Amino acid sequence: MSHGVSLPDVESVAEHTFSTSALSMILADLEERRGVRLDIEKVLRMTVLHDLAESFTFDISQAYLQHMGKRGRSIKREVEKNAWEHLAKGMTDRKLAGKYKSLQSEYDLSNTKESKIVHAADSLDILLQIVDYRRRGYPAALLSDLWNERRKMVAQAGVPSARGLLKIIVQENRRVA
């Protein structure tokens, strides 16, 4: 994520993956407490892998995708798919490579409880990062499009526990203002 944020302040893929993993674990535990049956190991594996391709490609920002127009999203999917194929080719264990590609595909489709939790956690981490940027003095206007997009994504993710965490993050963002 850049959005006009100074490069030394931008969260690394590793930092993002760790934070998203912790948020995914929390959301999965909260959803289980609500009686939702899910595979927490799959949630955590999917979270660790969800942005692995970005370690090869870089994080393609929403601003860049908008600049690319209608083809932006398909270009991003193609670049990340090629990165995944590159990763899989480097693995000697084809069965394991297939398992990882399957998890990435499930994440991309976002049609399972597990993948929805990871998507919600991903957006929650970005929202937390925005709050951190605001604490560092970055203006709200610089990040408002991303804030609104990710807030909407969490609200529509179909993960009730994520909406609860979203309320807390929104309150914290107001405090920073």
In this prediction, residue 61 carries a pLDDT of 58
Structural domain includes residue 103: yes
User: Tokens standing for 173?
Assistant: 């963002």
Nearest to 4 by CA among 121, 128, 137: 137
Determine contact, residues 46/114, Cβ cutoff 8 Å: yes
Structural domain includes residue 126: yes
pLDDT band at 75 (very low <50, low <70, confident <90, very high): confident
User: Tokens standing for 150?
Assistant: 């990710």
Domain containing 120: what range?
7-176
**Full-model pTM:** 0.86
Structural domain includes residue 48: yes
| Distance, CA of 117 to CA of 26 (rounded, Å) | 10
pLDDT band at 127 (very low <50, low <70, confident <90, very high): very high
Q: How many helices (H) and strands (E) does the chain have?
A: 9, 0
Q: Who wins on pLDDT, 130 or 59? A: 130
In this prediction, residue 73 carries a pLDDT of 66
At 24, give phi and psi (nearest 5°): -60, -45
Span 39-54, mean pLDDT? 88
Structural domain includes residue 1: no
In this prediction, residue 50 carries a pLDDT of 84
C-alpha angle with apex 168: 167 to 174, nearest 5 degrees?
90
Structural domain includes residue 2: no
Output the CA torsion 33→35→41→43 (10° steps): -90
User: Tokens standing for 135?
Assistant: 């604490």
Structural domain includes residue 63: yes
Q: Who wins on pLDDT, 75 or 118? A: 118
Structural domain includes residue 80: yes
Cα dihedral sign for 134, 76, 103, 114? positive
> How many distinct structural domains can be found in the chain?
1
CATH number at residue 28: 1.10.3210.10
Structural domain includes residue 74: yes
In this prediction, residue 52 carries a pLDDT of 75
